[in-house]
Amino acid sequence: MPAETSPAAAPAAYQARNSDRYSNAGATPDPWVECAKLTYGADRSFAWTVREQVIATPPEGYGRVEEKLLKALATPGRTDAGLAFLCQMLALVASAKSVPVLAPLLRADATADAARYALERVAGPEADAAFRAALGSLTGNTKAGLIGSLAVRGDTASQSALAALKDAASEPPVVREAAARAVEKLNSAKS
């Protein structure tokens, strides 16, 4: 069979085989999308890739990484584990730019803990305002957690609201106790 032995035919056959092989593999998944769809117990290699990129980013690149993480938060099919992971990464680099995206998550009982994980590390009035605003939206345990964040952040502007919660008969004990501790902490920080 001359065609099989000719010098020109051999490379063409080789290329065809490789083409088949790679087209079957499909497009390479984007770790910044896949990490948002992380599920508990599943392989977390994509999240690891993202983590490695985040921690290797120099300070001048924090803004760029922050934008990628915020974009990933909007991934369709985002999971609870994905949200938790992305917020853990945002805790390392987030700035005031993250506040508008995280604030709605902070106001929902189901996502407030994840949002606090990122936002508690963000200094500045924008984050302070988001925490204070969420006081009126959360209930029970998550509200108590939010109150703890206000105290840890040393937000003295929240003191009057916390003092009112401390004595609010409408609130469950967990909220009143958290408010009392927060007021005590903020008072001791001032003295």
Partner 1 sequence: MHSSLPRPVSRREFIQKSSLATAVAAVPLILPSGLRGANAPSKKITVGIVGCGNIADSHFPPLLGSPESIHVLAVCDVDRERRETGAARVNQAYGNNDCRAYADFRELNRRPDIDVVFICTPDHWHALVAIDAMRNGKDIYCEKPLTLTIAEGRALVDTARKYDRVAQHGTQHRSMKRFHDVAEFVRNQGLGKLDRIECFIPPNNRFCGATWTPEPVPAGLDWDMWLGPAPWRPYTSIGCHYNFRFISESAYGQVTNWGAHYLDIGQWALDMDDSGPIEVEGCGEFPSSGLFTNATKVDFTVRYANGVPMHCRTRHEGGGTVRFVGERGWLDIARDKMSASDNALLREMQAPNKKIQLALSNNHHDNFFDSVRARKRPIADVGLGHRTTTVCNLGQIAMVLGRKLKWDPAKEEFVGDEMANRLRTRAMRSPWSLA
Which residue, 72 or 89, is less far from partner 1 as judged by CB? 89
Q: 114 to 173, contacts with partner 1 by CB under 8 A?
A: 116-117, 120-121, 140-149, 151-152, 166, 173
Backbone angles phi, psi at 94, to 5 degrees: -65, 150
Q: 6 to 35, contacts with partner 1 by CB under 8 A?
A: none
**The dihedral of CA 135, 138, 139, 142: what is its sign?**
negative
What's the rounded Cα separation, in Å, for the pair 5 and 84?
Answer: 59
Binding of residue 56 to partner 1 (CB under 8 A): yes
What's the rounded Cα separation, in Å, for the pair 170 and 187?
Answer: 24
Which residue, 3 or 63, is less far from partner 1 as judged by CB? 63
How many angstroms separate the Cα of 124 from the Cα of each of 67, 96, 119?
18, 7, 10
Q: Interface with partner 1 by CB under 8 A: which residues?
A: 40-45, 48, 55-56, 59, 62, 81, 84, 88, 91-93, 112-113, 116-117, 120-121, 140-149, 151-152, 166, 173-174, 176-178, 180-182, 184-185
